[in-house]
Amino acid sequence: MSYVVTRMGRHMGLAFVAVALRVLGGFCADPAHADAVPNLGRADYLHFSLDRTPIRISLVNDVVGKGSFPDLVVPRAYVVFVNRAPHSSEGSLPSQLSSNEVELMFADGSGEAWSMAVEERSRRDSLDRTAAGQLMRAEQTSLQISPSTKPNEAYAADVRANVKRSAPNRQDESFEGLAHYRGVSSFSYYVGGSDDEFFSVRCEAQLNPVFQCTYTMSITEGVVAFATFVDFRLYGGRAYANRRLRFAREVVCRYLTRC
């Protein structure tokens, strides 16, 4: 489950944004021409587009290859990251490619591509994209999608078990009945139940309305995801998290060839 830990490690709270942006800058092969995504920063591996033209991304696994995993046929505007794709400084994403990890971004409620939603707010309120994105932070949903060779139940069990390995100290207090774990880091971990849309959640221990949590979930059999949005503990609790994750699944299922 080190892969789960590595991918979850990409998501940090706002307290780490300044550091993250410096790191992103170091990865840019051509910072002057790399894309900037509101609330994510500027990096050569990030993509920002207002193009609604669909592109096809074949989900592949490094061990089994294509297998029976579905494809994503999604407007280019939704896609902010594709592992091993050409850099943004080389131009827009090609119309067909394959990857083991794809990140989509969209606005909660409307399901509109994040780029389009921010651009609309920017024009409406005469703001630059950065300012518009900051004002819309509570609506921002990022969804990292990957193929999984494990059945959903087995994957969920592994995720929950990994929480107890990486954050072994169960806390006396829970949150709305969710078991709460802490490790040596500054994060709090919560384990979802059988009725929850999430298998686990990682949040900053400190409560702050602009900090985000990472929610581990399944989209469909063979496709799992890490969703990132604001801290559910401050925005409606467990029911809020489940509602947003159901909507996130609904949005991405519009663009999967099997869901």
Please write the tens of the pLDDT for every residue from 212-224: 999 999 999 999 9
Give the residue from 150, 41, 44 showing the smallest Cα distance to 105. Answer: 41
pLDDT, tens digit, for every residue of 29-78?
556 689 999 999 999 999 999 999 999 999 999 888 888 999 999 999 99
Q: What is the pTM of this model?
A: 0.87
Residue 9 in contact with residue 189, Cβ under 8 Å?
A: no
Neighbours of 243 (CB within 10 A): 14
- In order of 31, 34, 48, 163, the CA distances from 228 in angstroms are 25, 23, 18, 17
Hey, what amino acid is at 203?
C
Per cent of the chain over pLDDT 90 is 82
